[in-house]
Amino acid sequence: MKQSTLLILLLSLLTIEGVVLIGGNGTSTISSMNWRIVFFILIPLGLALLVWLQFRWAAMACVMYATVGLAMDVATIVQTLTSDTDVGGSLTLSGVSGLLNFFLIVFGGRSFLDLGQGLMPPKSRSPSPPSPS
C-alpha cells in the first residue's frame, strides 16, 4: 500500500471520527469536548502530517502514540461489550478510533523503515579478469 493511500485513509478515518465524536456527544461539556478533539483528532493529524514531511522522529512518535491508543481502544471495546450499558456510541467511537490507531501504526512504521532507504551508494564493480598476455 502506498503512503498516499494510507494518508488518504487516515484523513478519512479522522473525518469519520470527528463526526462521530461531535455528533454522538451532544450532552458533553465544552471543556470535555475540547480535550477529546485535541487528543483524538488534532494530535493524530499533526503526527501524520509530520510523518508525511519525512521527520524520522515523528514516525516513531506516531507509532508509540498509536500503540497506546490502540491498547486503550481494545480495552474500552472489551469493557463496553461486557457491561450492561448502552454500547452503540461508545463502541462505534472506540472501533473507529482503533482503526485509526492501527493505520497510524502502519503509516508511521512504513515511513520509519522507508526513510533510511534514501540515496544508496553505488555498488562496486567486480574486478575485471586478468588480460591474457
Please check whether residue 123 lies inside any domain of the structure.
no
Please check whether residue 131 lies inside any domain of the structure.
no
Q: Residue 73, Cβ neighbours under 10 Å: how many?
A: 21
d(CA 33, CA 110): 32
Please check whether residue 100 lies inside any domain of the structure.
yes
d(CA 53, CA 47): 10
Per-residue pLDDT of the chain (133 residues; tens, 9 = 90+): 566 777 777 778 778 877 777 776 555 566 667 777 788 788 888 888 888 888 888 889 989 999 999 999 999 889 888 886 767 777 888 888 888 889 889 888 888 887 666 566 677 777 777 777 6
Return the pLDDT at 68.
93
Please check whether residue 128 lies inside any domain of the structure.
no
Please check whether residue 65 lies inside any domain of the structure.
yes
* Residue range of the domain that includes 81: 3-115
Please check whether residue 121 lies inside any domain of the structure.
no
d(CA 38, CA 51): 18
Please check whether residue 11 lies inside any domain of the structure.
yes
Domain total of the chain: 1
Please check whether residue 127 lies inside any domain of the structure.
no
Copy the grid coordinates of residue 129. Answer: 579478469
105, 70 contact by CB (below 8 A): yes
